Amino acid sequence: MQDIRNIVVLTGAGISAESGIATFRGPGGLWEGHRVEDVCTPEALADDPALVHAFYDARRAALARVTPNPAHLALARLDEEWGGGLLIVTQNVDDLHERAGARRLLHMHGALQSALCAACGVRRRWPGALPPGSICPDCGAAALRPDIVFFGEMPYAMDRIEHALGSADLFVSIGTSGAVYPAAGFVQRARQAGARTLELNLERSAGSAWFDETRLGPAGTLVPAWVETLLAP
Ligand code: NAD
């Protein structure tokens, strides 16, 4: 591993599956019983704010019933012990990476425990229920919404992610289907920068052909084994 210094890890819903959080496209292509278009688009929020707010309220409340699994814990260990560059980019909106102890972490699609003011743009920690019309403490507008990046909206921190991908020696994708862009394109960007690319997933993702290596299996087994090897003296 002497040639590896800078690592970028991308995680998706699959890393939290063994903690008991449903993936995006579960049975029947639904997310917790809903069509993705009905809960994850700006149009859905405009058409039926009560439904969309209630959906994320339920997801937020469910966080109290789950805990990080060995894959989250292994990435936190990597963060603690890896002396080189590291950026963990998660598409997940749960808080299991940070509860496991990861710090070099970025939520590119927002976070359940955060509220975004549609009027002034301020984001703030919001651990409780968020009914439509909640007042923004910063600007006073009744415009708080779940701080979730919907389809068609710009993910967070793309400059930082681009910078990290451009200097990555190793790119590792964990538990993501490779169906949601721009995240699905990170592997190609990392390859352009000369990084080795590794996929850890239950099944081959849509972009599997872009990876130098694919290991198939549950994240709770594959990720600790990969981290162990990487950190071995
Ligand atoms: P996805 O549901 O499209 O794909 C999940 C992938 O994980 C699949 O390829 C599946 O084979 C794999 N997988 C399932 N169980 C696994 C396991 N135990 N170990 C390893 N891999 C496993 O998820 P995605 O690609 O992250 O889709 C993106 C969107 O889903 C994101 O925008 C995210 O915000 C949203 N989402 C987040 C959460 C969460 O925060 N936990 C949950 C559902 C959806």
pLDDT for res 33 = 87
Average pLDDT of the chain? 96
| Euclidean distance between CA atoms 115 and 125, whole angstroms | 6
Distance 219 CA to ligand 1 centre (A): 11
pLDDT average, residue stretch 96-122: 98
Residue of 30, 176, 215, 226 best suited for mutating to test ligand 1, as the one with most atoms within 8 Å of CB: 176
pLDDT bin (cut points 50, 70, 90) of residue 28 is low
Q: What is the pTM of this model?
A: 0.96
pLDDT at 105 over 80: yes
Question: Is the backbone peptide bond immediately before 68 cis, with ω within 30 degrees of 0?
Answer: no
* Residue with token string 């963990």: 88
Write out the catalytic residue numbers.
Answer: 109
The three-class DSSP label of residue 8 is: strand
Distance 177 CA to ligand 1 centre (A): 6
* Residue with token string 């890896």: 82
pLDDT for res 2 = 55
